[in-house]
Amino acid sequence: MKTRIKELRARHDLTQEELAKMVGVRRETIVFLEKGRYNPSLKLACKVARALGSSIEEIFLFEEEELTS
């Protein structure tokens, strides 16, 4: 899964640490999310989307293969 977290975080002038505090996770979780190495729970995805003023669909980009398997 690809994400636009880093791009949107920069647009809002937020550090990884600041975003992590806003959504209640450790900075490392944000690092893993940005690299696509961690699939968030629906609750965390909603918190991230809300913090970045975007929708889940705008932030988390699923590749077609992931949707069909």
Domain residue limits at 9: 2-59
Question: Quick check: is 35 in a domain?
Answer: yes
Question: Quick check: is 67 in a domain?
Answer: no
Give the pLDDT score at 1.
Answer: 83
Question: Quick check: is 68 in a domain?
Answer: no
Question: Quick check: is 66 in a domain?
Answer: no
C-alpha closest to that of 19 among 31, 8, 28, 9? 9
Task: Quote the pTM value.
Answer: 0.86
What is the tens place of the pLDDT at every residue in 3-56?
999 999 999 999 999 999 999 999 999 999 999 999 999 999 999 999 999 999
Question: Quick check: is 30 in a domain?
Answer: yes
Question: Quick check: is 21 in a domain?
Answer: yes
Query: What is the phi-psi region of residue 53: left when phi exceeds 0, alpha when psi lies from -120 to 50, beta otherwise?
Result: left
Return the CATH number at 24: 1.10.260.40
More confident site: 33 or 1: 33
Question: Quick check: is 65 in a domain?
Answer: no
What whole-number distance in Å separates Cα of residue 45 and Cα of residue 36? 13
Please give the tally of structural domains in the chain.
1
